[in-house]
Amino acid sequence: MTTRSGLLPTPPMVPGLPLLGSMLEWQRDHAGFFQRAYERYGPVFSVRLGPQRGVVLVGPDYHDFFFKEVDKRLSVPELYRFVVPMFGDVALASRDPETRRRHVGLLHSAFQGQRLSAYSRLAAEETHAWLDGLGGSGRFELWREMEGLVMRIAASTLLGPEVRARVDDFRPLLADLARGMDFVLPPYLPLPKFIRRDQARRRLTEMIKPVLAERRRRVDGPPDFLQTLVHDPGVGGESDERLIGMSLMTLFTGYLTTCAQLAWALVLLVQHPAHLATVVAEVDAACAGDGRVPVEARLPRLDRALKEAIRLRPVMSHYARHNRTDIEVDGYRLPAGWLTMLCPAVAHRLPEVFTDPDRYDPERFAPDRAEDRRHPYALIGFSGGFYRCPGSAFGMNEMRIVIAALLARFRLVAPAVEPVPAFDMGVTRPASPCMMDYRLRD
């Protein structure tokens, strides 16, 4: 790939409707829309989603370019304008580069080392409480259960026991906040959904403010993200509103992506009995005397199944950055004001990167094959570069903990109907209903 200057044409445009462009087709099936465009136009093509135009780049060399150009010719905050009414001017939505750097730095350090271990122990407790409530056998709706469990884990690990105890009040408010998310309309129009969004934000702030005040007083508070935030030397002194916004943004981003990815990982594993059997054997070997898998257990076969789910079913349809200037790539001009976009679902199925790419084959990540190491940006389910997901290790731990605990206790039966993707609150997840039968193992 080359980047150079000179007046050049823009990449071929996927034809669309007046005003809407390809919005409807994209909304129906994100990955399918990008895949069809890639097959027709190749690795560099233009799209129009409503009023916004963008260029999609497909392939690991382009990923490298995209991640390296961020905060140079490609810019982030313009893209996250829609989260400002929800969470305020925080993290990657902040227009101030110094604030972005400080907040993103805090996020990266908050999900490592002993803090990560503490969050993982809390996640395991929540998982076992959920399993205890399932009884000996039955049937659950995959998304409903995963969403509920991951929400409880997120409330307890990020906001602490006080908010966890009120999770049933907290959840509908977060849903109102999410329903007010709009990528197109001006965010402060007097529409009912925006009014409900603003009310929800005020009530969430009221709920968390006393907890925050208590945390500021205590240096030995519970081991959750809020505690980390208020005692961080770089960020802890910022206003209550900002810290609350940051914790809600982290919770919102981390919880939706994790429950969607977890649902895909579980369903794909259960649909593939041969790999499932090897994972169950690995889980059984790791079980302690109480029949539980220790949170620090190494489970490489399960980890490979998680990676394969991230490859085949990445939960985010695309990553986008705003072009600050005209950028020229491979004989094309990417105009200032357009977006530059990556699409993990298409890039993860390139045959030149992944062998037999449509096949579910977690062992492609085994050390002797290591297909993801063929390029530093072959697998981009957690994005890359400076804005790579700061919660990736925690997200992996959560998925590992939940699936290992489920398999240690129950035999699961694959859903009778092949799950199709549904797009919901910014992530792609298995459509409901996706019913899974379970029965206690002998």
Query: Which residue's CB is nearer to ligand HEM, number 143 or number 387?
Result: 387
- Taking the C-alpha atoms of residue 193 and residue 197, their distance in angstroms, rounded to an integer, is 6
- Beta carbon of residue 377, minimum distance to ligand HEM (angstroms, whole number): 12
- Beta carbon of residue 394, minimum distance to ligand HEM (angstroms, whole number): 4
- Beta carbon of residue 254, minimum distance to ligand HEM (angstroms, whole number): 2
- Taking the C-alpha atoms of residue 5 and residue 224, their distance in angstroms, rounded to an integer, is 49
- Beta carbon of residue 316, minimum distance to ligand HEM (angstroms, whole number): 5
Q: Which two tokens stand for residue 38?
A: 């890639």
- In this structure, what DSSP letter does residue 56 have? E
In terms of Cα–Cα distance, which of 231, 258, 246, 252 is closest to 91? 246
- Beta carbon of residue 197, minimum distance to ligand HEM (angstroms, whole number): 19
Query: Which residue's CB is nearer to ligand HEM, number 253 or number 340?
Result: 253
First vs last C-alpha separation in the chain: 56
**Binding footprint of ligand HEM on the chain (CB under 6 A):** 91-92, 104, 107, 250, 253-254, 257-258, 261, 315-316, 319, 381-383, 387, 389-391, 394-395
- Beta carbon of residue 356, minimum distance to ligand HEM (angstroms, whole number): 23
Query: Which residue's CB is nearer to ligand HEM, number 46 or number 383?
Result: 383
Chain centre distance of CA 225 = 18
Query: Which residue's CB is nearer to ligand HEM, number 92 or number 270?
Result: 92
- Beta carbon of residue 253, minimum distance to ligand HEM (angstroms, whole number): 4
Instruction: Give the residue at shortest CB distance from ligand HEM.
Output: 391
- Taking the C-alpha atoms of residue 386 and residue 175, their distance in angstroms, rounded to an integer, is 29
Query: Which residue's CB is nearer to ligand HEM, number 59 or number 391?
Result: 391
In terms of Cα–Cα distance, which of 243, 295, 213 is closest to 106? 243
CA torsion through residues 367, 318, 40, 5, sign: negative
SS (H, E, C) 345-408: HHHCCCCCCCCCCCCCCHHHHCCCCCHHHHCCCCCCCCCCHHHCCCCHHHHHHHHHHHHHHHHH
CA-to-CA dists, residue 358 to 40, 347, 349, angstroms: 19, 12, 6
Query: Which residue's CB is nearer to ligand HEM, number 349 or number 439?
Result: 349
Query: Which residue's CB is nearer to ligand HEM, number 22 or number 397?
Result: 397
